[in-house]
């Protein structure tokens, strides 16, 4: 059963910086870090600043995490380190590779919020928040009556704007003293303090179940803050930021222009104080260009004093200081900016000048000429500065006019009226705390430190700017270009990079933060996007030290989700404010609901252990924020209720601003509003000014919506569906995946005023699947008789003429909005209610509670009860099955435990060709593609891609929803099979009987849950039948071991010849047609899908290269024995067949299969307990003589050791024969000579040799097929002579038989050979020594060019390697670098000198190793081609019809032998080399792991094209590819 703990896995990859990806987690989760493919096997350390158990958080303190290796083995692909997440906030992780930083990222852990006297949890998605402007709450002793409005409106959180003392502007966000409670809250004679606020907050939490948060403002302070006057270093002034001096001077000039315009001095130039038209705007432009800019000459602050610099230069030249040497480029001379920004204070580097302008002689004329050139260059540089300033001037004028237009002429602007000193032409950018002076008098002040420090830059924001850049810094021209949208009441704060840069400011703000966190449950980061991020990090860390579960919200206007993520990550922001007011119509409003939370209805159940995937920030979705204008001015009063309903149905936190619910028809300004909010008075029918109750505005509707929002989140309605019924009607469904209850809210929005716009009375019919239990709520915005709206002078009042007509929890029949509701069926088991509306007027909302049809509800409950055995998650919503199918009374684990591994091949796998052989086929999904396998893996491979993304629109899901075809296919296919498979099929059939009776939209989810449960159970059943190496192995080992199940099976027609009847442990079955008993031994397919069925399923070479890894290492000893003995029965001419063809259609055209077979017998004896007994097992000979007709099993039996001896004896004597039925009937491409087989043993060297130039007897067996390219009938790689791997395999065999003979286990001492006409005994020991003594002499290509052993030095092109063959008819082929000699290194390492072997392996690694496989030919070879295309038929001899099959493409199986050889010889070199090799091996295998996980075939391919590229002609999964990787892991 799956663990209930939520675990997320983050794969680390080299050089991966994920600071712009958001990873959100919850407390109680476990986060695991695992190594991705680029880091496997390498020395990686993961560090985090998440505190160790018992420690406290410090952002700068990182500690290493401990690695856990579940298997405890060297192969540690499963190793992980973990964090148990118990505290909220933002935490960073970093990882280093061999002590060098390699990557980093952040995780954000959500806080746990608690409310009520019982301290129960308030989930984040339950939050409904209301914003209050604190100054409008009035005296503190009246707060409770005003805050009660939020409580009675159903909100559970209050957001206060700052509670501190305000500045002179009275803006809620311009604070004069961050540490003091606003004195406005006190009365004469009664002063309130923070303690009183704390008590109220605590009362609201315990008695009202409400939390409180407030803003923190870190960017600025009020201009009149006393502390900023005492500590001007805390702002940007002209002393610490002299780069602002030009901008300050421009600001002062604009102020003087304001004064002159206000006094009427420019009226004669068409610039009056009251602006009315565009011509007057143009006159402003003219005045600035003609009067202001020429007067202040800002370019001079950036220029050089030319005369002074030339004189200095002349003096240096005259004194002989010029440099010697060539003239350098004069462009290198640049202006060095004066750090104090004085007029003409900038300079140039005189050394550069001297090196650039060199006089021809020391005479006065030459010096004068040189000075003139220097002067000319300085004038050019100054002119460039002038040009740059003109660009700034142009932008500044445009920004000034844009501001003037908005503030004074635009319809949507504030229309400020006349230009006055109180309402200047543009807001001042700097404070000026001195009296009236002229501009000429003011300019000198900026260079006086005691005055300049008080000219402080105001704060504001810059449209479209990079939020991570400081717009007041020296690299910014925002102030001089007038791009700042300025807040003239606030001074921008200058923190520097660290606390020591401005100690007072950091300390002051830390105290402010701690006061806030002490008294409130959370904070809103005001103006977050322009808060210095390092400051906010430090302050929030201080806040969390006071209140660990701090709720942090923010509004970000960065314009980029990735930059948003930087803020969310570094600050640990819990929720980002999202505005419904950004929606321009109801369709967009619905889209935002879908975007900001929840998963699709009918989503799949995700595993509790799964990858950590990036997400978007948790949303706080507001119908209106206090920064938005009143929606009534943009939409209509009728829209407030339906838009609120749409927002309330979002699966995230939601909120509003006080005044929205009362229908206040204007924005409540944070600056100018001084009236108080109304109080709650529930008891009167006629309200006085300053009071509201449930009948006011939409309060009653909002209360019901807020309560519903909280209920939906608390009860797990996490699935969302949004339906745009028509242009005004939006239906939002929230669905609970446990109970399958839905809540459907239908809202008719009124973006246009119904009084002035047309709305159709014909509302589309709606179909709601399921059974409507009740109408939770129906509400309409209606008019009532009331006095016309008049803005009250003392209280913030709303429109009195609107209220909500509301009815809650009624039956459908009692609804006034629904005309009639009919029931129809959609398919056999899906009931749909058809709703016709009559009063769904604009401004109406109706919300239905919907359940499944009772029968469907029961089926779902029973399904969930049977799924609990796989996952306790299904307990909620489950029902006991009272009429249970007998098969369902048995735990599925018990049913699965009865399956043999051959049965599991059928249950899990079998490709289309295998199924077709049995009369079936894989399932074909219409409009898509057939599944890869008929078994569960075929379905699971597709679902693994669909499930994580909830891709419910996939054709696979469409097919499931459309009918029961796939469902029936799964169960029926297994029932027909019979035996233990049939019980699995019956179990599926019983489960599916319930599945078929639930609504179709739920079928993909439950089908997946059933299959995942069964699949994981049968995988466990498979591994339990395998070796301890597999059972205790890593995930990689286990998944590779499934390759054994995938490849080893038996169909309707057994592929192996019949074994001796006297052999025990042979599986039998009853033939369905003849009803006779027959053997059913599983055979190994060479590869899927091309080599899986019929005569092309079993190949001698492929079988025995694969057998050790797939059967012996995995513990399938009986199957291995039976396959060895079955092939032994087909021995003929001393050879094992290449193509088995059930023995009767065998082809004996390969020289290597017999040696792989012998190697496997040796491996069997060494690996299997008492494996040596196989030598005495009876072998039923099909061909006791070369010319025998096939004999039935049992007629001629021999012990295996005799068959082994025959094979060796025949080799020693030599074999010359012609293939039976030679000609096009067995090979349509081979030329006649190619059918002649010739094999023997060289009496001098002991090397097995054979073949001719027209046949190919080793694994590189591509025969030319193209007549067009004239390669038909010519082998691409004949490899005649002695192939290196065959020499190695034969050496391994004779060494082994020598040992067995000495131990008296094998009766033969050697083979008889003819020498000088006599038969003599060649002992295995002598044969062994012959090969040993001659191997390196004949195969090693010496690094010494003069080596006497080298027969053909002219053919050597790579030194230090081992030849691919010895004695080829084309000697060049002997010297080709190929990946075959590592095979000999693994099976007969004694043949190789360690140092030479290591050198050769390094060359192979450098030249042949690809991402997954080994290049089959040296890329430096002239016939190398790494792309295999068997369909290409052109005139290119080397590639036509895939002629290059083994001339470059990267085959996987040789990489296993290469890695095993490296491991073996690395141990012989030294420990350091061995450790480096282990790293290499793990790194290579990690790529196989990734391919295995991503492949829908769940296997490793036969080959890839060059550099690991996909090859469409390759088998998708190949037996030997999987086998060799398992063997490498076994060696590790």
> How far is residue 159's CA from residue 977's CA, in Å, rounded to a whole number?
66
CA–CA distance from 1204 to each of 1173, 1177, 1179 (Å)? 14, 12, 11
> How far is residue 678's CA from residue 693's CA, in Å, rounded to a whole number?
10
Has 508 been annotated as catalytic?
Answer: no
Which residue(s) pair with 600 in the sheet? 720
> Where does residue 226 rank: exposed (0-12), middle (13-18), buried (19+ CB within 10 A)?
exposed
> How far is residue 1031's CA from residue 1114's CA, in Å, rounded to a whole number?
9
- Residue keyed to tokens 């791997």: 1285
Of 932, 924, 907, which is closest to residue 1049 (Cα–Cα)?
A: 907
> How far is residue 176's CA from residue 223's CA, in Å, rounded to a whole number?
8
> How far is residue 685's CA from residue 689's CA, in Å, rounded to a whole number?
13
Q: Which of 125, 196, 251, 526 is catalytic?
A: 526
Which residue(s) pair with 579 in the sheet? 622
> How far is residue 904's CA from residue 1048's CA, in Å, rounded to a whole number?
10
Which residue(s) pair with 216 in the sheet? 525
- DSSP conformation letters of 597-643: S-EETTPPPPPSEEE-----PEEEEES--TTSPPHHHHS-GGGHHHH
Residues 6+ apart with CB under 8 A from 266: 260, 272, 283, 287
Has 983 been annotated as catalytic?
Answer: no
Has 184 been annotated as catalytic?
Answer: no
- Pairing mode of beta strands 157-160, 211-216: parallel
> How far is residue 931's CA from residue 921's CA, in Å, rounded to a whole number?
10
Residues 6+ apart with CB under 8 A from 488: 169, 223, 427, 428, 458
Give the DSSP letter of residue 723.
E
- What is the 3 state secondary structure string of 365-380? HHHHHHHHHHHHHHHH
Question: φ, ψ for residue 818 (rounded to 5)?
Answer: -90, 130
- Residue keyed to tokens 């954000």: 108
Of 631, 1063, 1051, 640, which is closest to residue 845 (Cα–Cα)?
A: 640
Say if residues 1516 and 1501 touch (Cβ distance below 8 Å). yes
CA–CA distance from 1455 to each of 463, 642, 1404, 1526 (Å)? 58, 66, 10, 12
Torsion angle of C-alpha atoms 1488, 1490, 1494, 1499, degrees rounded to 10: 20
Phi-psi category of residue 1019: left, alpha or beta, with phi > 0 → left and psi -120 to 50 → alpha: alpha
Question: 284-300 burial, b for 16+ CB within 10 Å, e for fewer?
Answer: beebbeeebbeebebbb
Q: Which of 145, 338, 423, 627 is catalytic?
A: 627
Helices assigned H by DSSP within 1048-1152: 1100-1107, 1117-1128
Of 91, 112, 95, which is closest to residue 103 (Cα–Cα)?
A: 95
- Pairing mode of beta strands 157-160, 128-132: parallel
Identify the sign of the CA torsion 1014, 1017, 1019, 1024. negative
CA–CA distance from 1247 to each of 1157, 1244, 1333 (Å)? 18, 8, 11
> How far is residue 159's CA from residue 211's CA, in Å, rounded to a whole number?
9
Collapsing DSSP to helix, strand or coil, 1199 comes out as strand
Collapsing DSSP to helix, strand or coil, 1320 comes out as strand
Catalytic residues: 526, 529, 627
């Amino acid at each position: 059963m799956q663990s209930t703990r939520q675990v997320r896995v983050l794969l680390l990859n080299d050089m991966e910086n994920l600071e712009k990806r958001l990873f959100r987690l919850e407390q109680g989760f476990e986060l695991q870090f695992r190594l991705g493919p680029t880091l496997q096997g390498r020395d990686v350390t993961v560090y985090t600043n998440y505190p160790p158990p018992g420690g406290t958080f410090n952002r700068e303190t990182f500690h290493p995490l401990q690695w856990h290796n579940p298997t405890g083995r060297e192969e540690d692909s499963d190793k992980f380190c973990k964090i148990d997440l118990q505290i909220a906030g933002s935490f960073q992780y970093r990882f280093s590779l061999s002590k060098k930083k390699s990557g980093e990222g952040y995780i954000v852990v959500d806080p746990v919020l608690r409310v009520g006297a019982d301290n129960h949890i308030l989930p984040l998605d339950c939050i409904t928040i209301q914003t209050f402007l604190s100054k409008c709450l009035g005296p503190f002793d009246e707060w409770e009556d005003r805050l009660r409005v939020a409580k009675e409106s159903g909100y559970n959180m209050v957001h206060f704007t700052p509670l501190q003392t305000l500045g002179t502007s009275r803006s809620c966000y311009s604070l004069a003293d961050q540490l003091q409670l606003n004195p406005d809250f006190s009365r004469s004679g009664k002063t309130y303090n923070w303690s009183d606020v704390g008590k109220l907050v605590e009362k609201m939490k315990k008695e009202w179940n409400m939390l409180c948060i407030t803003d923190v403002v870190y960017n600025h302070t009020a201009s009149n803050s006393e502390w900023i006057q005492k500590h001007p270093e805390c702002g940007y002034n002209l002393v610490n930021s002299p780069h602002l001096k030009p901008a300050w001077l421009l600001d002062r000039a604009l102020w003087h222009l304001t004064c002159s315009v206000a006094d009427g001095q420019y009226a004669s130039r068409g610039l009056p104080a009251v602006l009315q038209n565009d011509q007057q705007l143009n006159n402003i432009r003219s005045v600035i260009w003609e009067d202001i800019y020429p007067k202040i000459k800002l370019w001079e602050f950036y220029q050089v004093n030319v005369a002074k610099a030339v004189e200095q230069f002349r003096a240096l030249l005259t004194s002989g200081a010029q440099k010697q040497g060539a003239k350098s480029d004069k462009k290198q001379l640049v202006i060095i900016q004066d750090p104090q920004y004085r007029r003409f204070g900038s300079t140039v580097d005189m050394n550069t000048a001297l090196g650039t302008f060199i006089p021809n002689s020391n005479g006065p004329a030459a010096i004068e000429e040189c000075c003139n050139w220097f002067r000319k260059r300085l004038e050019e540089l100054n002119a460039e500065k002038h040009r740059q300033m003109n660009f700034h001037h142009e932008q500044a004028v445009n920004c000034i006019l844009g501001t003037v237009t908005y503030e004074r002429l635009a319809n949507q602007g504030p229309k400020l009226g006349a230009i006055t000193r109180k309402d200047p032409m543009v807001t001042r950018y700097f404070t000026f705390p001195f009296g009236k002076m002229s501009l000429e008098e003011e300019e000198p002040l900026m260079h006086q430190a005691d005055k300049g420090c008080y000219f402080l830059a105001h704060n504001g924001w810059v449209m479209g700017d990079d939020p991570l850049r400081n717009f007041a810094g020296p690299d910014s021209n925002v102030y001089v270009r007038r791009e700042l949208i300025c807040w003239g009441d606030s001074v921008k704060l200058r923190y520097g990079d660290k606390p020591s840069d401005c100690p007072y400011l950091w300390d002051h703000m830390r105290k402010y933060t701690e006061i806030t966190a002490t008294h409130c449950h959370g904070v809103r980061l005001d103006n977050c996007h322009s808060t210095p991020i390092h400051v906010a990090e430090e302050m929030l860390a201080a806040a969390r030290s006071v209140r660990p579960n701090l709720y942090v919200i923010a509004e970000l206007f960065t314009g980029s989700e990735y930059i948003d993520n930087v803020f969310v990550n570094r600050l640990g922001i819990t929720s980002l404010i999202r505005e419904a007011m950004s929606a321009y119509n109801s369709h967009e409003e619905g889209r935002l609901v879908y975007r900001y939370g929840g998963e699709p209805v009918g989503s799949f159940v995700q595993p509790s252990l799964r990858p950590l995937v990036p997400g978007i920030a948790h949303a706080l979705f507001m119908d209106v924020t206090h920064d938005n204008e009143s929606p009534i001015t943009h939409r209509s009063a009728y829209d407030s209720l339906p838009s609120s309903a749409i927002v309330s149905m979002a699966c995230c936190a939601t909120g509003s601003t006080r005044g929205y619910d009362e229908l206040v028809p204007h924005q409540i300004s944070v600056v100018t509003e001084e009236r108080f909010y109304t109080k709650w008075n529930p008891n009167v029918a006629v309200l006085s000014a300053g009071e509201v109750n449930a009948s006011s505005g939409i309060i009653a509707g909002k209360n019901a919506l807020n309560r519903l929002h909280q209920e939906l989140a608390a009860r797990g309605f996490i699935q969302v569906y949004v339906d745009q019924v028509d242009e005004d009607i939006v239906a939002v469904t929230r669905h609970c995946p446990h109970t399958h209850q839905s809540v459907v809210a239908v809202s008719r929005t009124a973006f246009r005023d119904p009084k002035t716009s047309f709305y159709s009375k014909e509302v589309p019919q709606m179909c709601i699947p399921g059974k409507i239990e009740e109408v939770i709520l129906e509400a309409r915005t209606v008019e009532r008789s009331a006095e016309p709206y008049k803005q009250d002078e003392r209280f913030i009042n709303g429109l009195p003429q609107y209220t909500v007509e509301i009815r809650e929890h009624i039956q459908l029949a009692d609804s006034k909005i629904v005309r009639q509701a009919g029931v129809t069926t959609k398919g056999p088991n899906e009931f749909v209610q058809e709703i016709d509306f009559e009063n769904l007027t604009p401004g109406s909302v109706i919300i239905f509670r919907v359940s499944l049809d009772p029968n469907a509800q029961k089926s779902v409950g029973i399904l969930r009860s049977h799924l609990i055995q796989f996952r306790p998650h299904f307990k909620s919503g489950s029902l006991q099955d009272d009429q249970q199918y007998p098969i369902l009374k048995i735990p599925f684990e018990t049913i699965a435990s009865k399956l043999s591994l051959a049965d599991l091949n059928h249950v899990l796998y079998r490709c289309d060709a295998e199924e077709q052989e049995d009369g079936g086929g894989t399932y074909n999904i219409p409009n898509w593609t057939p599944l890869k396998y008929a078994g569960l893996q075929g379905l699971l491979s597709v679902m693994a891609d669909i499930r994580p993304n909830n891709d419910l629109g996939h054709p696979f899901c469409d097919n499931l929803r459309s009918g029961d075809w796939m469902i029936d296919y799964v169960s029926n296919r297994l029932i027909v099979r019979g035996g233990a498979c049939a019980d699995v099929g019956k179990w599926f059939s019983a489960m599916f009987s319930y599945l078929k009776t639930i609504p179709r939209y739920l079928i993909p989810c439950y089908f997946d849950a059933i299959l995942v449960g069964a699949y994981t159970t049968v995988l466990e059943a498979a591994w339990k039948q395998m070796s301890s190496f597999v059972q205790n192995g890593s995930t990689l080992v286990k998944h590779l071991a499934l390759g054994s199940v995938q490849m080893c099976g038996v169909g309707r027609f057994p592929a192996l010849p019949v074994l001796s009847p006297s052999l025990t442990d042979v599986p039998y079955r009853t033939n369905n047609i003849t009803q006779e008993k027959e053997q059913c031994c599983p055979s190994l397919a060479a590869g899927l899908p091309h080599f899986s069925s019929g005569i092309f399923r079993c190949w001698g070479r492929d079988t025995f290269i694969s057998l050790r890894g797939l059967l012996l290492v995995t513990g399938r000893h009986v199957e291995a024995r039976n396959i060895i003995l079955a092939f032994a029965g087909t021995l003929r001419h001393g050879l094992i067949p290449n193509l088995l063809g059930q023995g009767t259609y065998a082809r004996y055209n390969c020289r290597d299969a017999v040696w792989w077979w012998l190697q496997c017998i040796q491996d069997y004896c060494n690996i299997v307990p008492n494996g040596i007994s196989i030598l005495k097992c009876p072998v039923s000979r099909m061909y006791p003589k070369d010319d025998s007709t096939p004999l039935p099993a049992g007629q001629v039996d021999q012990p295996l050791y005799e068959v082994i001896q025959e094979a060796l004896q025949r080799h020693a004597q030599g074999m010359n024969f012609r293939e039976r039925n030679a000609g096009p009937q067995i090979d349509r491409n081979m030329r006649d000579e190619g059918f002649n087989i010739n094999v023997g043993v060289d009496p001098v060297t002991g090397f097995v040799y054979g073949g001719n130039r027209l046949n190919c007897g080793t694994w590189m067996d591509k025969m030319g097929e193209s007549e067009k390219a004239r390669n038909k009938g010519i082998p691409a790689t004949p490899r005649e002579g002695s192939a290196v791997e065959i020499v190695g395999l034969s050496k391994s065999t004779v060494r082994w038989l020598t040992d067995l003979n000495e131990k008296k286990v094998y009766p033969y001492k050697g083979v008889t050979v003819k020498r000088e006409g006599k038969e003599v005994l060649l002992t295995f020991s002598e044969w062994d020594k012959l090969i040993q003594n001659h191997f390196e002499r004949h195969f090693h290509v010496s690094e010494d060019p003069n080596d006497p052993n080298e027969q053909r030095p002219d053919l050597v092109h790579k030194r230090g390697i081992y030849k691919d063959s010895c004695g080829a008819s084309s000697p060049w082929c002997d010297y080709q670098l190929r990946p075959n000699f590592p095979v000999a290194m693994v099976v007969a390492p004694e043949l190789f000198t360690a140092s030479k072997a290591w050198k050769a392996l390094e060359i192979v690694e450098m030249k042949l190793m690809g991402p997954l496989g080994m290049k089959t030919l040296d890329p430096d070879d002239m016939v190398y081609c790494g792309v295999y295309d068997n369909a290409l038929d052109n005139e290119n001899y080397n590639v036509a019809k895939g002629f290059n099959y083994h001339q470059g493409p990267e085959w996987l199986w040789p990489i296993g032998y290469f890695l095993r050889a490296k491991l073996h010889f690395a141990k012989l070199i030294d420990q350091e080399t061995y450790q480096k090799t282990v790293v290499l091996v793990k790194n290579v295998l990690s790529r196989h792991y990734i391919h295995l996980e991503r492949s829908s075939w769940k296997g490793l391919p036969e080959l890839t094209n060059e550099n690991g590229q996909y090859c469409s002609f390759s088998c998708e999964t190949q037996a030997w590819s999987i086998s060799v990787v398992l063997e490498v892991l076994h060696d590790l």
